[in-house]
Amino acid sequence: MFSHRLRKLHQQRLNRIIRDRSSAQASRMFIEGREFINFASNDYLGLASHPEVVKAAKDSMEEFGFGSGASRLMGGGSVLHRRLEDAAARFKRTEAALLLNSGYAANTGILPAIVGEGDVLFSDELNHASIIDGCRLSRAETLVYRHRDVEHLSQLMEGQRGRRMIVATDTVFSMDGDIAPLKEIHRLCLAVNSSLPPEDSVLLYLDDAHGTGVLGNGKGALEHFGIEPEPWIIQMGTFSKAFGSYGAFVTGSKDAIEWIVNTARSFIFSTVIPASAAAAAAKAVEIVMNRPDLLRRLWENRTFLFDALKERGYDTGESETPIIPLKMESVEDALALSRHLQERGIYAPAIRPPTVKVPRVRITVTAAHSQEDVHTLLNSLGEVRR
Ligand SMILES: *Cc1c(COP(=O)(O)O)cnc(C)c1O
């Protein structure tokens, strides 16, 4: 049944394999008995195995056990979940926040909750798969605008007056590491909204999965651009990347959050994350807010590596963040480079179609990498003739 389909996938060299760690998620990790320097993780600040984060999870289990046992509306939540939401609302400076079970669950639950049939959704062509799936589930008409092209977005918005409109974008694009032009998108939405009654405002939906804990002193993309939160801006972020835990959140006005509580199916019909994950995330938020040196370190590492890669002539696309793609001519080249790095003890998988159009080795550098780690990467890359 599947063997035929699989054969084709293998022939195209597009089959994926799972390789599991036998050690913690960290800048150094073991796979199949071998140590690797990890350049694939989204654990930007090295918090996934930070002792205080681990302790917060452990301590919470003493009191709250492990499983949460039910969805949030059925008593699955605890004061630790609530506290995490309060922390999210505080650091995003919004009225309210709600915990979702993952970034994927957030996008596929919230978008269909806030727009539907007859509405129109504008989506950047490189948005994350979970936004694309959220668009599909919403049944709103989805108009895809060219990547980061606000002019194109503006053209598409023309002629859609009278319908409920929403613009959805990643803040940091997960495979390219570039940043959405939020100043321009914000200005465009403001201009359109100035001629609309507040209840018909264009909504702006931001997926800040890779901006949270990374941009704007850790507070995310809006802070990075100096844009004030407003009732028509809905921000989603995750605790699974820079915050080193699990789960996601959405922030916005009290009303927006109450609406989502009442309508988002991935919130209503799914068991809430364990209290220990919430406790770990809350500790991570606290660490990020109190330890500017971690972010400084992340960005120092990023700048150093990026400049060195540029100097060596790599095509890093438009990367502006710790996500740095090394774009390759072919799937073969991307696989060969990834394999070469692996032989040198460096873990950086090739990313291939259909995830991306242009094959690449995707590098993510974190605050936990030492200078030596970065040099090892650069030296290993230097051995490859291109
Ligand atoms: C990782 C990611 C998600 C999904 O978040 P999870 O918590 O891993 O489910 C959503 N959007 C973007 C842009 C992401 O990079």
For residue 322, report the distance from its CA to the centre of ligand 1, in Å: 16
Contact yes or no for 221/242 (Cβ under 8 A): no
Point out the ligand 1 atom lying closest to the alpha carbon of residue 170: 13
**149-162 pLDDT per residue, tens:** 999 999 999 989 88
218 contact partners, CB below 8 Å, separation of at least 6 = 91, 212, 242, 288, 289, 295
362 contact partners, CB below 8 Å, separation of at least 6 = 40, 175, 323, 324, 325, 326, 348, 349, 351
Cis upstream peptide for 354 (omega within 30°)? yes
23 contact partners, CB below 8 Å, separation of at least 6 = 29, 30
Residue owning the nearest CA to atom 14 of ligand 1? 209
Question: What pLDDT shows up at residue 30?
Answer: 98
For residue 170, report the distance from its CA to the centre of ligand 1, in Å: 10
Closest listed residue to residue 320, CA positions, set 173, 124, 182? 173
Residue owning the nearest CA to atom 5 of ligand 1? 103
**29-45 pLDDT per residue, tens:** 999 999 999 999 999 99
Instruction: Please choose from 240, 266, 273 the residue to mutate so as to test ligand 1's pocket, defined by most ligand atoms within 8 A of CB.
Output: 240
Contact yes or no for 173/203 (Cβ under 8 A): no
Regarding beta strands 346-347 and 96-100, do their DSSP bridges make them parallel or antiparallel, or are they unpaired? unpaired
Question: What pLDDT shows up at residue 223?
Answer: 97
Question: What pLDDT shows up at residue 68?
Answer: 98
Residues linked to residue 142 through DSSP beta bridges, in sequence order: 121
Which alpha helices (DSSP H) does 22-148 contain, by range?
51-64, 79-92, 103-114, 129-138
Question: What pLDDT shows up at residue 385?
Answer: 64
**92-144 pLDDT per residue, tens:** 999 999 999 999 999 999 999 999 999 999 999 999 999 999 999 999 999 99
Residue 386 above 70 pLDDT? no
For residue 198, report the distance from its CA to the centre of ligand 1, in Å: 30
For residue 177, report the distance from its CA to the centre of ligand 1, in Å: 14
The DSSP-derived string for 164-199 is: -EEEEEESB-TTT--B--HHHHHHHHHHHHTTS-GG
- Give the C-alpha separation, 194 to 370, whole Å: 49
Q: Is 128 in the pocket of ligand 1 (CB under 6 A)?
A: yes
What residue ranges in the chain does DSSP mark as E strands? 28-31, 34-38, 96-100, 120-124, 141-145, 165-170, 203-207, 233-238, 248-252, 323-327, 346-347, 350-351, 360-364
Closest listed residue to residue 81, CA positions, set 276, 253, 236, 219? 276
Residue owning the nearest CA to atom 10 of ligand 1? 103
Average pLDDT, the chain: 97
**62-79 pLDDT per residue, tens:** 999 999 999 999 999 999
**196-232 pLDDT per residue, tens:** 999 999 999 999 999 999 999 999 999 999 999 999 9
For residue 238, report the distance from its CA to the centre of ligand 1, in Å: 7
For residue 123, report the distance from its CA to the centre of ligand 1, in Å: 16
Q: Is 362 in the pocket of ligand 1 (CB under 6 A)?
A: no
Contact yes or no for 232/310 (Cβ under 8 A): no
Q: Is 361 in the pocket of ligand 1 (CB under 6 A)?
A: no
Q: Is 169 in the pocket of ligand 1 (CB under 6 A)?
A: no
The CB density around residue 146, as the number of other CB atoms within 10 Å, is 13
**311-340 pLDDT per residue, tens:** 999 999 999 999 999 999 999 999 999 999
